[in-house]
């Protein structure tokens, strides 16, 4: 459950057991200037999404929601981010993806 910064402002966020299908593993999200990479552990299945694959993002309750045009959802729990990392992630999303006005 950590975040690290690299040259292109890369975020690494781990969602522990957020969904029923993840009971035996975690999803790691890496946000960078190119898009979002997801890594499902322990199998280390990796998916890469460029920013233009995302339709919208929003913040609702304790999560940041990011939806692709194919209706896949990336969820990031706000509690897993420091206030500085939260602001940096919001800035990155605002730069690359349209924000949805109402999220529910």
Task: Indicate the Cα dihedral angle 31, 33, 36, 38, nearest 10°.
Answer: -60
Q: Which two tokens stand for residue 4?
A: 């690290």
- What is the rounded CA–CA span in Å between residue 61 and residue 71? 20
Across the chain, which has 104 residues, the per-10-residue mean pLDDT values are: 40 47 68 87 86 95 92 88 89 93 77
Q: Cβ(16)–Cβ(42) under 8 Å? A: no
pTM of the model: 0.70
Length of the chain: 104
């Amino acid at each position: 459950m950590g975040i690290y910064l690299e040259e292109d402002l890369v975020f690494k966020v781990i969602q522990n057991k957020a969904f029923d299908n993840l009971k035996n593993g975690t999803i790691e999200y890496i946000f960078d200037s190119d898009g979002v990479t997801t890594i499902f552990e322990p199998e280390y299945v990796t998916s890469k999404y460029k920013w233009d694959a995302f339709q919208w993002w929003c913040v609702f309750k304790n999560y940041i929601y990011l939806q692709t045009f194919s209706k896949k959802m990336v969820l990031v729990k706000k509690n897993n981010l420091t206030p500085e990392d939260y602001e940096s992630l919001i800035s990155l999303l605002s730069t690359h993806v349209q924000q949805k006005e109402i999220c529910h």
